[in-house]
C-alpha cells in the first residue's frame, strides 16, 4: 500500500475553498492520509507554491507551512491544525511569511498551485528549532521512506 494524501475540503487538482486562504478564515484545511509504511518513525509536511509571484513568470517557490515530527500513527490533521500550537508531538517550522504556522494561499496575480507534500521518515528528527523548508529538507535527506502529494489551486476573487 502506498502513502496517499487527501483532503475532505478539496480534490487533488481542484480549487482550495476560500475559507483556507487569506480571503477567508485562513485556517489550514483538514488533511487525511493512509498507507504510512510500518518502518516510519515520523511524518513531515511541507506546503508550497511554485508559481510565485506570477504563474506566467514564476520566480520563487513560496513556502506556506512547514510541520515535522508528526507521529506516524496519526491519520491526518484536523482543520485549523496549522494555527498556534502544533498538533501533539509535532513541531512547526517557519514559512516564507516568517511565521511558525499555516499561512493560506494569497496569490498576488493569477491562479497558483499549492503542493501539500507529506513525507514518511525512518527517524524522529531532533529539535530543529523553527526550521525553514530548506533546513527541514536537509534534515530529511536519506530518511524519506515514502512521499505523497496533494495539489490544490487558488486565485483571488
Q: What's the CATH number of domain 4-154, 3.90.280.10, 3.40.50.360, 2.100.10.30, 3.40.50.1820?
A: 3.90.280.10
Res 135: pLDDT? 98
Res 11: pLDDT? 98
Phi, psi of 6 (to 5 degrees): -140, 170
How far apart (Å, rounded) are the C-alpha atoms in residues 76 and 155? 26
Res 149: pLDDT? 98
The 3-state DSSP class for residue 107 equals: coil
How far apart (Å, rounded) are the C-alpha atoms in residues 154 and 146? 27
Mean pLDDT, contiguous 10-residue spans, the chain (157 residues): 95 98 97 97 98 96 97 95 86 95 96 98 96 98 98 96
| Grid cell listed for 50 | 511554485
- 53 near 112, Cβ under 8 Å? no
Amino acid at each position: 500500500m502506498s502513502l496517499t494524501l487527501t483532503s475532505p475540503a478539496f480534490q487533488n487538482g481542484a480549487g482550495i475553498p476560500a475559507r483556507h486562504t487569506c480571503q477567508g478564515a485562513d485556517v489550514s484545511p483538514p488533511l487525511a492520509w493512509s498507507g504510512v509504511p510500518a518502518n516510519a518513525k515520523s511524518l513531515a509536511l511541507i506546503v508550497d507554491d511554485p508559481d510565485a509571484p506570477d504563474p506566467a513568470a514564476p520566480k520563487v517557490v513560496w513556502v506556506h507551512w512547514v510541520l515535522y515530527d508528526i507521529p506516524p500513527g496519526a491519520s491526518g490533521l484536523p482543520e485549523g491544525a496549522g494555527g498556534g500550537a502544533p498538533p501533539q508531538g509535532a513541531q512547526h517550522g517557519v514559512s516564507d511569511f516568517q511565521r511558525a504556522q499555516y499561512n493560506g494561499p494569497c496569490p498576488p496575480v493569477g491562479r497558483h498551485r499549492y503542493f501539500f507534500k507529506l513525507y514518511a521518515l525512518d527517524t524522529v528528527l531532533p529539535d530543529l528549532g523553527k526550521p525553514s523548508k530548506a533546513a527541514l529538507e536537509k534534515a530529511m535527506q536519506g530518511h524519506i521512506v515514502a512521499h505523497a502529494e496533494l495539489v490544490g489551486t487558488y486565485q483571488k476573487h
